[in-house]
Amino acid sequence: MVSTRKPYKGYRLLFAELIITLVIVVAMSQSVCATDDSTISDHVIQKAGKLRLYDDPVWLAIGHYQQNSKGWISTVADPRFFLSERGKTDPKAELEATIRAFFAPRVNIEEHATSRFVARLAWLRERGVLSEDELPSFHDTNYEKLLAEVRPTKILLAFPSPLAEGMNSAFGHVFLIFVHDDRSPLLAPSVSYAALIDKSRGVLYPILGLAGGFKAYYTTQTYTEKLKEYSAIDCRDMWEYELTLRPDEVERIFQHTWEMMHIYSWYYFLDENCSYGVLALLNTARPGLCSPAIDRRLFILPLDVIRQVREQGLVESTRYLPSVLTSMRTLAQKLSNSELVAAKAMACGKEDPMQVLKNTNSVTPATMLDVAMSLAQIRVDTGEASVDEHQKIMGSLIRAVQNTQTESRSDDIPDVPPYPETAHLPSRLSTGVAIRNDTVYWLAGIRPAYHDFLDPSEAMDPAVQLQLMATEVLVDKTGDIAEWKLCLFDMETLRPCDTLYAPLSHRLKVSTIYRNEAISPSEWNCETEGGLGYSYALFERTLVYGMGEVDLQTRTLQGDTWMGVGPSGGFVTDLPWKARAFFKGRYQINSVDPDCLRFDLSAGYSIAVTKQMSIAIQYVKEMIIGEESDTELRLEGRLYF
């Protein structure tokens, strides 16, 4: 027994020694490798340092660095984006850490810096500081698979037109599409920059949106899905701008988009928004595209991006994509009212299309069916019809189409409206005189964004008024401020109804006024107005509307409150010579004291002198029964910038 155990102990010792030796050898070899990699990375860092690549505009662009009074700072907030602890504020440290990370042991291919930071790697190779021999590339990575599938050769910039239904869509939107020449853009992926909004924050939601309280990410979707969202569901017309970027520039944007996936920045509704995100991507292709002129603005709007790429000569071609609603309305112009009623009945499943076509003597039955199909699509996309119901309706419409002779379709395509970037600039300075109850004031105002009914309507939606943070002062002849007015928010959307489709029109305005007129005591007035109703198009260029309105005013210094309820109505119209006019009447009953009544009248006329300059005249009369009425006439010059 003893003799058999001794050799066993000896083997065990030998085995242990062998293992230790192996561990030492492996550790030494690893150490040698690490030393080798570290030597190469130091060498590459030296080369990059000599070339001052950390100051290179492309490096600063792909790091999203911006200069402030203290130096550089990246707008990216996610720590995973930075490989150096000081990376957010130190482009040099980040560059060095990136090079070191490229030479780090290759354990998990997808998590390795060379697979994650593909734009950084490609740029270093392009600058000649990192060769394939020094750092061989991984193959068959997820990025390479994606690149092989998409093979982007050009980029489209898409602009869905504004939808004044809420702040997040009120100024429009921009996103990019990576297109391959041989494939339909509809199959291509799109990338947009959007906030991940947590609406559980309740009333804090808009404040957090303004103050950078939400994380924003680059997100991808196929262009088809985007088109469905904007064109069919939201009924927004779209514009596509093909950009004249070189293949290497397209590839860098694609690479950088990959780098930015799942990386967050803080979202600021006014400036670091979807437009900023798109500019930041374009900036990596051609640094300087995001010009300081645009950086200095309080707002960056989607149209600013379009103007910027247009000014930079980056637009190769432009394409207009009418929404399903616009296309339907164009087709509907060919139909009589009875045909429209029949088309609506078919789209709502109230009448069998075959039966309708049998009984009609219409010369445009195919157009009737197309209108019915478009309306059916709008109804299901807006939730007015269920999916099951919709499928049945579409089935019956398709069967009817097959039995219908197609008429000429030459005028089916909507006219192309003026390019949206040709509209007046969003910010406005105004100055002029106001005569209020026989007293003359000088007025001056500034409005950061965006458009009102008296601004030039060329390339703007004539049915939408949207103003943010518009402020105005009235100064009397002694030089004292008689009134200071801040309109925080003013949105009015007149969506015309017709036989086929009857959307609601609405308005909401929140403002505050400080009055310090010599003839009356000072007062601070906060006002919230809202309304819902319907509008109709008349004579092609005129919209008439009627609404039910509520107006709440609190005069804080006097401590009294007005809560008016009542109807309102008016019109907005385009006139010859680039002029516009509006009229509005409103009757209000104070719900606190029904004997207290108010009648408001307002009218305005403006004429565009140039695209960026207009002159406006407005008349306002407010009559409260039992009190003296207020009348104001004003003449102002407006400059857009």
Partner 1 sequence: MTFRSLLNFTLMCFSLALIALFTGCAAIVSSPDQQLVFTTEPTKAEIYVNGSKMGTTPCNILVPRRRPPPSIILKKEGYEDTPVVFTSKYNPWIIGNVLWGYCSLTAFTVDFNSDKSIMYYPDTFLTTLSPLEGTTPEQKNSAEKQKQKSKVVRFVAANYDALVLELSKGSGDHLTALFDLMEIPAANRENAVTKLKPLYIKYDNPVELGRAIELEFPR
Binding site for partner 1 (CB under 8 A): 165, 182-187, 199-200, 202-203, 224-225, 228, 232, 366, 369-370, 373-374, 376-377, 380, 383, 387, 391-392, 394-395, 397-399, 401-402, 406, 409, 412, 506-508, 528-532, 548, 550, 552, 563, 565-567, 587, 589, 591, 594-595, 597
Q: Which is nearer to partner 1, 287 or 569 (CB)?
A: 569
* CA-atom Rg of the chain in angstroms: 32
Q: Which is nearer to partner 1, 360 or 528 (CB)?
A: 528
Structure tokens at 215: 């994380």
Q: How buried is 369 (Cβ within 10 angstroms: 0-12 exposed, 13-18 middle, 19+ buried)?
A: buried
Q: Which residues contact 323 (CB under 8 A, 6 or more apart)?
A: 230, 231, 232, 234, 235, 236, 237, 238
- Least distance to partner 1 from the beta carbon of 506, Å? 6
Q: Compute the distance between CA of residue 316 and CA of residue 308 in angstroms, rounded to an integer.
A: 14
Q: Which is nearer to partner 1, 168 or 629 (CB)?
A: 168
Structure tokens at 168: 């997040």
Task: Give which of 33, 32, 24 is closest to 105, Cα–Cα.
Answer: 33
Which is it for strands 464-475 and 439-447: parallel, antiparallel or unpaired? antiparallel
- Least distance to partner 1 from the beta carbon of 197, Å? 8
Q: Which residues contact 509 (CB under 8 A, 6 or more apart)?
A: 487, 489, 490, 491, 492, 527, 528, 529, 530
* Order of all β-strands in the sheet with 265-267: 265-267, 214-222, 189-196, 175-179, 154-160, 238-243, 315-321
Chain centroid to CA 452: 19
- Least distance to partner 1 from the beta carbon of 4, Å? 46
- Least distance to partner 1 from the beta carbon of 120, Å? 29
Q: Which is nearer to partner 1, 277 or 531 (CB)?
A: 531
Q: Which is nearer to partner 1, 308 or 367 (CB)?
A: 367
- Whether residue 82 contacts residue 94, with contact meaning beta carbons closer than 8 Å, is answered with yes
Q: Which is nearer to partner 1, 340 or 397 (CB)?
A: 397
- Least distance to partner 1 from the beta carbon of 631, Å? 23
- Least distance to partner 1 from the beta carbon of 369, Å? 7
- Whether residue 41 contacts residue 238, with contact meaning beta carbons closer than 8 Å, is answered with no
Q: Which is nearer to partner 1, 465 or 606 (CB)?
A: 465
- Least distance to partner 1 from the beta carbon of 308, Å? 27
Q: Which residues contact 203 (CB under 8 A, 6 or more apart)?
A: none
- Least distance to partner 1 from the beta carbon of 470, Å? 20
- Tally Cβ neighbours within 10 Å of residue 609: 14
- Least distance to partner 1 from the beta carbon of 321, Å? 8
Q: Which is nearer to partner 1, 86 or 409 (CB)?
A: 409
Q: Which is nearer to partner 1, 219 or 360 (CB)?
A: 219
